[in-house]
Amino acid sequence: MAWKVKEEPAPGGAAPDVTPQGEHAPTGAQNIFELQAVSVRYSGNLAVKEVGFGVPTNRITALIGASGCGKSTLLRCLNRMNDLIPGARVEGTITYKGQDLYSPRVDPVQVRKRIGMVFQKPNPFPKSIFDNVAFGPRVLGMKEDINLLVENALRRASLWDEVKDRLKDSALGMSGGQQQRLCIARAIATEPDVILMDEPCSALDPISTARIEDLMNELKDRYTIVIVTHNMQQAARVSDKTAYFSVEVGDNDRRYGRLIEYDDTERIFTNPSDQRTEDYVTGKVG
Minimum distance, C-beta of residue 40 to Mg ion, in the bound complex (Å):
13
Nearer to ligand ATP, 150 or 281 (CB): 281
**Strand-pair partners of 259:** 245
* Among 78, 81, 107, CA closest to 93: 78
Contact (Cβ atoms closer than 8 angstroms) between residue 32 and residue 224: yes
Minimum distance, C-beta of residue 112 to Mg ion, in the bound complex (Å):
18
3-state helix, strand, coil in the chain (%, to 5): 35, 30, 40
Residue count at the site for Mg ion (CB under 5 A)?
1
Interface with ligand ATP (CB under 6 A), residue from 24, 49, 59, 71: 71
At a CB cut-off of 8 Å and minimum separation 6, what does 248 contact?
Answer: 49, 255, 256, 257, 258
Please give the Cα distance from 7 to 281 (Å, whole number). 47
- Which of the listed partners (Mg ion, ligand ATP, none) does 227 bind, with a CB threshold of 5 to 8 Å by partner kind? none
Nearer to ligand ATP, 18 or 63 (CB): 63
Nearer to ligand ATP, 222 or 255 (CB): 255
Minimum distance, C-beta of residue 222 to Mg ion, in the bound complex (Å):
26
Interface with Mg ion (CB under 5 A), residue from 31, 58, 61, 72: 72
Q: Does 117 bind ligand ATP (CB under 6 A)?
A: no
Q: Does 212 bind ligand ATP (CB under 6 A)?
A: no
Beta strands at 224-228 and 241-249: parallel, antiparallel or unpaired:
unpaired
- Which of the listed partners (ligand ATP, Mg ion, none) does 277 bind, with a CB threshold of 5 to 8 Å by partner kind? none
Contact (Cβ atoms closer than 8 angstroms) between residue 111 and residue 101: yes
Beta strands at 60-65 and 241-249: parallel, antiparallel or unpaired:
parallel
Q: Does 79 bind Mg ion (CB under 5 A)?
A: no
DSSP letters of 64-117? EESTTSSHHHHHHHTTTGGGGSTTEEEEEEEEETTEETT-TTB-HHHHHHHEEE
Residue count at the site for ligand ATP (CB under 6 A)?
11
Please give the Cα distance from 87 to 83 (Å, whole number). 9
Nearer to ligand ATP, 59 or 76 (CB): 76
* Among 202, 205, 230, CA closest to 120: 202
Footprint on residues 74-113 left by ligand ATP (CB under 6 A): 85
Please give the Cα distance from 194 to 40 (Å, whole number). 21
Coil, strand or helix: which one is 279? Answer: helix
Minimum distance, C-beta of residue 164 to ligand ATP, in the bound complex (Å):
35
Nearer to ligand ATP, 155 or 255 (CB): 255
Segment interacting with ligand ATP, rule: CB under 6 A, options 62-70, 109-117, 132-140, 144-152: 62-70
Interface with ligand ATP (CB under 6 A), residue from 42, 125, 135, 160: 42
Q: Does 73 bind ligand ATP (CB under 6 A)?
A: yes
List residues near ligand ATP by CB under 6 A. 42, 47, 67-73, 85, 255
List residues near Mg ion by CB under 5 A. 72
